[in-house]
Amino acid sequence: MLSIIGIGLNDEKDITLKGLELIKQSDFVYLESYTSILQCDVSALEKLYGKKIILADRTLVEQKAEETILKNAKTKNVSFLVIGDALSATTHTDLLKRAKDLGIKVNIVHNASILTAVAETGLQLYKFGKTTSMPFPEKNFQPETAYEVIKDNLSSGLHTLVLLDLRPQENKFMTVNQAINILLEIQEKRKEKTITKIIGCARLGSEKPTIKFGTAKELKDFNFGKPPHCLIIPGKMHFAEEEFVGQFK
């Protein structure tokens, strides 16, 4: 049996009772370690769960799952832990499909996700448009997809959540500041004025999140602290949203 378990956004205490029960019954416990990061050490999870945790990088999950995670799940109880919600990322849905194709019984345990934690900014969730992500630019790879998504959402008055690239194994995490500079470069190149206001966020779901609202000029040099970071480009705001967001100026 395979249990895909969301463990929340902050620390070891965010696990649900159902998730914890399944982990304690497991023979193998894997932690997906490439789409996000926790605000605690893996050792804290191991202490609470009472289990040794195997870190699962992208290669293991996307290329070698059949010979490791899924192979074990055919005859043993396996927990696959996901930071945030169990199925927020496409890679986790793919693992679910592959398990079902092999006839493996699967449990799904949901938890808090960045997709819902953004409500902490005061913006209404149903007014968010398509979510996008921003990768680190490289010499021959400087996509403008995030900017295009923001532009499309703004044309409909919708907010945009921009997820920022992170490479935990390289200890490399994109900051709000870097993301703002990338967007401004694209905007300047196109000679447009698409982006006016920005909400920068860090460590949403933790006990000490940072949320700041302002112009790109006001936020691009602000120190948001430790990762993970994300940013939001607000669309047309209801007066109640404007009032709430105003406290973060």
Total Cβ atoms within 10 A of residue 1? 18
End-to-end CA distance of the chain: 48
pLDDT digits (tens, 9 = 90+) for 59-82: 999 999 999 999 999 999 999 999
Q: CB of 7 within 8 A of CB of 14?
A: yes
Q: What is the mean pLDDT of the chain?
A: 95
Assess whether pLDDT exceeds 90 at residue 138: no
Query: How far apart are alpha carbons 82 and 109 in whole angstroms?
Result: 10
Q: CB of 6 within 8 A of CB of 111?
A: yes
Contacts for 208 with CB less than 8 Å, ≥ 6 apart: none
Residue with the bigger pLDDT between 206 and 139: it is 206
Tabulate helix, strand, coil % of the chain (nearest 5).
40, 25, 35
* Confidence class for position 169, pLDDT limits 50, 70, 90: confident
Candidates 85, 84, 91; CA nearest to 69 is 91
Candidates 33, 131, 125; CA nearest to 82 is 33
Residue ranges of domains in the chain, CATH in brackets: 2-112 (3.40.1010.10), 115-248 (3.30.950.10)
Residue 249 is which amino acid?
Answer: K
pTM score, two decimals?
0.92
Q: For residue 157, is it left (φ>0), alpha (ψ between -120 and 50) or beta?
A: left
Residue 246 is which amino acid?
Answer: G
pLDDT at residue 237, as a whole number? 96
pLDDT at residue 227, as a whole number? 95
pLDDT at residue 168, as a whole number? 86
- In the chain, at which residue ranges do the beta strands (DSSP E only) sit? 2-6, 28-32, 53-56, 78-82, 106-109, 132-134, 160-164, 166-167, 172-173, 197-202, 210-215, 229-233
